[in-house]
Chain A
Amino acid sequence: MSTEPNATGMKPLEAAEAEEAMREVLAGEGVADAASELAPGVPEPETLAEGQMEGDPAVAEPACNQDCKIITRHVNVFYGDKQAIFDVSLDIPDRAVMALIGPSGCGKSTFLRCLNRMNDIIDICRVEGDIRLEGVDIYSGEIDPVLLRARVGMVFQKPNPFPKSIYENVAYGPRIHGLAKDRTELDEIVETSLRKAALWDEVKDRLHAPGTGLSGGQQQRLCIARAIATRPEVILMDEPASALDPIATARIEELIDELKQNYCIVIVTHSMQQAARVSDRTAFFHLGRLVEEGPTEQVFTNPREKRTQDYITGRFG
């Protein structure tokens, strides 16, 4: 999958150089334009209903042919007596962006947090079902949750840099996991991670300044750099841009587009436009159930389910 031509198609280094130019472009045209570009593509409700009848539900393109990173089957999640997720089965491809959308409280974040066992730290939370990372059941004990979280990194809704220096923030993961033999190697990891997160040029002169002193968007990119530094295979992003302004959001989206060349990315978002802009596939959650999953374009232009259609049109309407 993820054969779509990349929008920038640049290596991280070039990306960093082109940053200024890009900022202008994004500031000028803005996110609103991106949304309006998409809007004409959204069919009228009538068309949609028609398409749904004509379309063959069974033909839904399989998520992964050969390259599925995460496979989940019949996942149920309970908080105490309350069930939050009902029987969700979802395949997540490698080197692509999978967006989880849905109204708030629909369970998309809960599902995301199952993928690296973040729900473990909530006492009353219980997860049932099968979640496999490269074929290995992550809840079986075959993978240590500590290592799992290094392989499946996470970026949170609100940027949450540690109250440490920028350098220490990025070096945190490699240090605890022992990924660097010496200081030089650690420096290298920090630099690479910051470059990949398109933050290097902005902070290279103040690596030892506190990470909390950065702007919101920079903080979020720092958190992405921090996640990249543990050499993950999957990056989970829980509404990574919801606390950011449009320009910073655009930077993050740009970054996501770049990162998907090397990583499997799962992003939870409440913004339809964002899902449409950054993702290759989209899964729509509602009331704890997976309603529909498919290539982003298809889900947005020609959803198979009425609920998906209502949600999307309601949002745009």
Chain B
Amino acid sequence: MLTITVLAIAVVAAAGFWLGYGPMRRMELLQEPGARTERLHSRPVYHGLFIAAWVGIPSLLLVVLWLMMQGSVLDWLLLNSLPADELARLSDDQKQVLLNEIRTLAQGNQLPGEPAAYVLEAAERLNRWRITAGWAMFVSALSLALAGMALARRRISRFFRARQAVERVMDGIMLACAGVAVFTTVGIIISLLFEALRFFAKVPVTEFLFGLRWEPQIAMRADQVAGSGAFGMIPVFTGTLLISAIALAISVPIGLLSAIYLVEYSSSRFRAFVKPLLEFLAGIPTVVYGFFAVLTVAPALKAFGEAIGLPVAPNSALAAGSVMGIMLIPFISSLSDDALAAVPMALREGSIGLGATKAETIRRVLVPAALPGIMAGVLLAASRAIGETMIVVMAAGIIATLTLNPFEAVTTVTVQIVSLLIGDTAFDNPKTLAAFALGLVLFLVTLGLNVLSMHIVKKYREQYD
């Protein structure tokens, strides 16, 4: 139905275009060259586009809105259509489960066990409604399109400033596209806040922020009161910080030193060779790093630990952290590279002119001068490390242990988010909602780091401009 509707709108829009273009084109061909007063204000193509825009834009917006709303509206109708006595027995969570069952049945899939008659009925009703809704969407979108065409057609004339009108429409579209970034941010904040608040209705905020135990799997059992002390994020956050710290401890020195070498020492040919190498390292998807950690690094560390008599967990924080460190090297390196290159040549010359060696110039002048830029890069890298998901999902642990020992397995915020949400999830148990609460914390922490980093960069730029 969706395809048919969109196609129908496209056909009407094309018809609208010709309705605008055709007459105006004929008029244009008839007009005397040089007769200024008789001329069309705008070229025919703008008249065509004007009608097409009036046809396409409102009706497509309607379709999008319709698609957004249809699911929720149908759910609501469906719930209300169910026998009241059956509903009364169900909690909110169970209602959701029931809805899921009806949807599954409606798709023609089987359910384990024999569903109740009213459920089967509901599934049939849902299918009928869906078809009706599809037709309703088709009819309303098409009538809107035709109405738009009729309205726009009446404005077309020789004197109509079609170009300006079309350009205003374009401005609107472009502004809306630019606004998508804002809507995304707002969407992130609202969706995280909304679900997190639902979580905090079940688990106190203080419990979440300061609790020392994180055992979401236990709280999942039906007979247990949700969140009885098992949703404390401290060990999860400590694990995140531990792994991030390891990653930074590896990537910052290596990245910074390689940037120093590339900017200050290397020949341009060597630079031209190494830069793409680092870019390649930066372009590797994190799932690949994750597998590399599991496949190579973790076993190697474990074997090394065994050789020197040190117990190393197979999914130790060190393994995940060091691979994350490798991932961050090109990131740090390229940001430090930018920061060092931004230090004015005059400072280099000033130092060299006083008889300083390159190393002295770097250590005493360039690095201090570039420090804000380097710090901003490190902050961004920290934000990345904290938000990095696949490496830790594959290589770090899932049990939240409160430890700072890098040879033990720890878990991270992102690991918990993924493991809580993977597989089929209903939206109302604390387990699922906890993931959103963690997501909110993650978003706020990385947002803080990013904003701080941007602020430093801005100040730093002002210093040298």
Contacts and interface: CB of A to CB of B under 8 A. Distances in A.
**Direct contact between A and B judged by beta carbons closer than 8 A:** yes
B356 A121 contact: no
B365 A149 contact: no
The interface centre, meaning the residue of A149, A162, A230 with most chain B CB atoms within 10 A of its CB, is A162
Given A160-B344, A176-B360, A176-B364, A154 B353 contact: yes
A19 B356 CA distance: 33
Contacts of A153: 353-354
Interface in A117-175: 118, 121, 123, 146-150, 153-154, 156, 158, 160-164, 172-173
Interface residues of B, number: 21
B268 A118 contact: no
B364 A116 contact: no
A230 B350 contact: no
Nearest to B365: A162
A223 interface: yes
Contacts of B463: 163
B355 A172 contact: no
6 closest Cβ pairs, A-B complex: A150-B355, A154-B353, A160-B346, A149-B355, A160-B350, A173-B354
A151 B15 CA distance: 84
Contacts of A123: 267-268
Contacts of B355: 146-150, 173, 176-177, 230
Of B344, B349, B357, most buried by chain A (CB within 10 Å of CB) is B349
A230 B351 CA distance: 12
Interface in B329-349: 344, 346-349
Contacts of A147: 355
Nearest to A145: B355
B354 A121 contact: no
A48 interface: no
B119 interface: no
A163 B368 contact: yes
26 contacts: A118-B349, A118-B352, A121-B349, A121-B352, A123-B268, A147-B355, A148-B355, A150-B355, A153-B353, A153-B354, A154-B349, A156-B349, A160-B344, A160-B347, A160-B349, A162-B350, A163-B347, A163-B463, A176-B354, A176-B355, A176-B360, A176-B364, A223-B350, A226-B354, A227-B354, A230-B355
A147 B355 CA distance: 6
Interface of B: 267-268, 344, 346-357, 360, 364-365, 368-369, 463
Contact of A230 (B346, B347, B354, B365): B354
Contacts of B356: 146, 172-173, 176
Contacts of B357: 146, 176
Contacts, number: 69
B353 A162 contact: no
Contacts of A173: 354-356
A163 B351 CA distance: 12
B389 to A, nearest CB: 38
Contacts of A148: 355
Nearest to A229: B354
A164 B368 contact: yes
A156 B360 CA distance: 19
Interface residues of A, number: 26
A289 B154 CA distance: 79
A230 B353 CA distance: 11
Nearest to B356: A176
A172 B360 CA distance: 10
B254 to A, nearest CB: 26
A172 B352 contact: no
Nearest to A146: B355
A150 B268 CA distance: 29
A19 to B, nearest CB: 25
Given A148-B355, A163-B369, A176-B356, A156 B350 contact: yes
Contacts of A162: 347, 350-351, 364-365, 368-369
B348 A121 contact: yes
B344 to A, nearest CB: 7
Contacts of A227: 353-354
B364 A149 contact: no
A279 to B, nearest CB: 21
Greatest chain B CB density within 10 A among A146, A158, A164, A230 is at A146
Nearest to A227: B354
A161 B369 CA distance: 11
A30 B324 CA distance: 64
Contact of A149 (B268, B344, B347, B352): B352
A84 to B, nearest CB: 17
B365 A116 contact: no
A123 B364 CA distance: 23
Contacts of B344: 160
Nearest to A121: B352
Among B356, B360, B365, the most chain A Cβ lie within 10 Å of the Cβ of B356
Interface string A187-202: 0000000000000000
A177 B351 CA distance: 12
B125 to A, nearest CB: 74
Nearest to B354: A173
Contacts of B346: 156, 158, 160
Interface string A8-46: 000000000000000000000000000000000000000
